[in-house]
């Protein structure tokens, strides 16, 4: 039996899991990425939005450990803030998953014509 589900373990990056139950009852989870287009069809939009919510929880955890590195370490980092890169990457991932969850059922024309918060249609 195969089950598709979002999963989140505190302190770890969220994942979408393709869980396979083996003949002996054990379960094996394969983490899927955004590039697994065919497999993503097995997730509902609600599951993808839960995955986004899990990323938000992950970012909240990361933000609790954000600080400016000591002055002598500033030049060892692109941005001298602990967890900055992880936060930035998580925001990008959230946008990618939202695009899939919100627009995958639309025709190409519909997906390019949507209204933004400012009321403008694009």
Q: What is the pLDDT of residue 106?
A: 76
pTM recorded for the entire structure: 0.81
Whether 53 is covered by a domain: the verdict is: yes
Question: What's the sign of the alpha-carbon dihedral 85, 88, 89, 90?
Answer: positive
Contact 55, 35 (CB under 8 A): no
Rg of the chain taking only CA atoms, in angstroms: 18
pLDDT per residue rounded down to tens, the chain (122 residues): 999 999 999 989 999 999 999 999 999 999 999 998 889 999 999 999 999 999 999 999 999 999 999 999 999 888 999 999 999 999 999 999 999 999 887 766 655 555 566 666 55
DSSP string, 61-76: HHHTT--BPPGGGGGG
Whether 118 is covered by a domain: the verdict is: no
Q: What is the pLDDT of residue 57?
A: 97
User: From CA 101, how far away is CA 105, in angstroms rounded?
Assistant: 8
CA angle 43, 103, 107 (to 5 degrees): 115
Domain that holds residue 76: 2-112
Count of domains for the chain: 1
Q: What is the pLDDT of residue 63?
A: 96
Whether 121 is covered by a domain: the verdict is: no
């Amino acid at each position: 039996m195969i089950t598709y589900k979002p999963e989140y373990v505190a302190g770890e990056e969220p994942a979408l899991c393709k869980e396979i139950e083996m003949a002996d009852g054990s379960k094996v989870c394969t983490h899927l990425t955004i590039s697994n287009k065919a497999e993503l069809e097995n997730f509902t939009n609600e599951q993808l939005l839960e995955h986004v919510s899990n990323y938000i929880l992950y970012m909240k955890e990361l933000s609790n450990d954000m600080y400016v590195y000591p002055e002598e370490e500033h030049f060892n980092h692109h941005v001298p803030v602990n967890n900055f890169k992880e936060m930035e990457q998580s925001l990008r991932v959230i946008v990618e998953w939202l695009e899939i969850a919100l627009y995958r059922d639309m025709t190409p024309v519909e997906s390019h014509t949507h209204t933004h918060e400012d009321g403008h249609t694009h």
